[in-house]
Amino acid sequence: MSGGFLGTARAHWAKYPRMEPRDFAKLAYQSEFGPAHMAQGPDRVLAALLAERKEAGPDPLPPEPIGGGLCRFHITQALSSLWELPLIGRMFARTAGLTEGTEAGLFEKLEALAVLPVPGLPDYLESWRREGCPPVRHSEAFRNAYNPHYRVLRLDCARYLPALLPLEKLARDTPERRKGPALIAIDGRCGSGKTGFAALAAGVLTCSADVVHMDDFYLPPDKRGTDWMEVPAGNMDLERLKKEVLSSLDRDGGTAYRPYDCRAGRLKEAVELWEPLTLVEGTYSQHPALAKYYDYKIFLTCEREEQIRRLQAREGDYFPTFDRVWRTLEERYFAACGTEGAADLVVDTTGFFD
């Protein structure tokens, strides 16, 4: 871990050569603890973002990874105060709530920093440790040279922002004006981040959201056709999904569905859906038989090499079988149904996660 952070520190030093010892300490602190020390109420967070936007530069800047799955997300005048800044404020709060650093992790990063040939760095870090490593501001030299205006966010939050914005607009369009909840489909390749993105969206959008998983709508083996492996979504109960969720939510009011338990081979207790936004995530969610029900469709993908790495980590010893059978089936579905091309937005998540 320390070796990875040392590389991050070197990259920041190369980009910001006016960094002083306290700037390196701040980088290590943020990488370990994120913005937890800056936790504030949503009104104060938004007010601070609006004020900073006026002082920041005009051009958009990419997120800067700082390690630990975190990044510095730059506040610029290019950000919209109407849609983006409130959403960034909620992503900031989510980051603060989910980041759990340790003193040992911070000390390991400080030991890595000590090898850098920065004048006064070892002495500063030793003095800072004796003080208990409190949060520090950027040095005056750094502030004067680079005019920093950023928030520490989870890397996935920052990189998913373009995909979250259209959902945020739908979330602000109340059910009273829409004649019912908004329905979003999140389809895409296995390992591309569909489940994680759905959870993120449900946690940061301006209104509450329900998440429905396609895994809850598998067909029991005895109800599948003999040619189910040749038919796109032949292992899915699309009719039950339409009846219990999609067509029901198309009308005013809530609904309920019963998830299918693959291991037990039976339906579980009913899950109620009442929120103004419903996210249906998983492969086959944008099947042509379902597409007409959605207000917006997002397709996630990633490069094959990264997909293999993610699936190996997720599936373990089952990876060869999963890759040969289930990935092949979904690729046939994408090809037969033109899923990627029919989506409103395609997001390549390659490199999204630290």
**Mean pLDDT, residues 266-282 taken together:** 93
Residue 97 pLDDT > 80, yes or no?
Answer: yes
The torsion defined by the Cα of 154, 158, 159 and 163, in degrees rounded to 10, comes to 120
Q: 130 pLDDT exceeds 50?
A: yes
DSSP string, 147-164: ---EEEEEHHHHHTHHHH
Dump pLDDT digits (tens) for 202-227.
Answer: 999 998 899 999 999 999 999 999 99
* Share of residues in the chain with pLDDT > 90 (%): 82
- Residue-wise pLDDT for 80-94, tens only, equals 988 899 999 999 999
Q: Which of 46-60, 294-308, 315-329 has the lowest mean pLDDT?
A: 46-60
Q: How far apart are CA 235 and CA 284, in angstroms?
A: 10
Res 1: pLDDT: 44
Q: How does pLDDT run across 228-257, given as a tens digit for each residue? A: 999 999 999 999 999 999 988 855 567 899
Per-residue confidence (pLDDT) for residue 175, from 0 to 100:
57
What's the confidence (pLDDT) of residue 248?
Answer: 86
pLDDT reading at 2 higher than 60:
no
As a whole number, mean pLDDT of residues 279-293 equals 97
287-298 residue pLDDT tens: 999 999 999 999
List, as one string, the DSSP characters of 48-116: HHHHHHHHS-SS----EEEETTEEEEEP-TTS-TTTHHHHHHHHHHHHHHH----HHHHHHHHHHHTTS
Residue 214: the pLDDT is 98
For residue 109, give the nearest of 101, 98, 120 by alpha carbon. Answer: 101
Under a CB-based contact definition with an 8 Å cutoff, are residues 35 and 96 in contact?
Answer: yes
Per-residue model confidence (pLDDT) at position 43: 84
Q: In the predicted model, is pLDDT for residue 302 greater than 50?
A: yes
Q: What percent of the chain has pLDDT over 70?
A: 95
Q: Is the pLDDT at 176 greater than 90, yes or no?
A: no
Cα 114 to Cα 137: distance, rounded to the nearest angstrom: 19
Residue with tokens 């750094």: 142
Res 252: pLDDT? 57
Sequence-separated (6 or more) residues with CB below 8 Å from residue 40? 48
Which one-letter DSSP state was computed for residue 325? I
**Tokens, residue 34:** 């994120």
Q: Residue 38 pLDDT > 80, yes or no?
A: no
DSSP readout, 190-238? TTSSHHHHHHHHHHHSSS-EEEEEGGGGBPPGGGS-TTGGGSTTTTB-H
Token pair in block for residue 351? 């490199």
3-state secondary structure of 7: helix
Mean pLDDT calculated for residue range 32-51: 85
* Domain definitions of the chain by residue range: 2-155, 161-348
User: Is 174's pLDDT higher than 80?
Assistant: no
In the prediction, which pLDDT does 251 show? 58
Q: Which token pair is 255?
A: 């609904």
Phi, psi of 135 (to 5 degrees): -60, 145
The whole model's pTM is what? 0.90
Q: What angle do CA 73, 79, 80 make, to 5 degrees?
A: 140
Q: Is the pLDDT of residue 325 over 50?
A: yes
Q: pLDDT at position 177, please?
A: 55
User: How would you classify the pairing of strands 345-348 and 255-257?
Assistant: unpaired
CATH annotation of 161-348: 3.40.50.300
**The token pair that represents 350 in the structure block:** 């390659």
Nearest partner of 217 among 253, 181, 257, judged by Cα: 257
Is residue 109 within 8 A of residue 28, CB to CB? The reply is: yes
Q: Is the pLDDT of residue 146 over 60?
A: yes
Report the distance separating Cα 337 and Cα 352, nearest Å: 27
Confidence of residue 338 (pLDDT cuts 50, 70, 90): very high
Segment 137-156 shows an average pLDDT of 96
Give per-residue pLDDT as tens, 108-128.
Answer: 999 999 999 999 999 999 999
Task: Please provide the average confidence, as pLDDT, over all residues in the chain.
Answer: 92
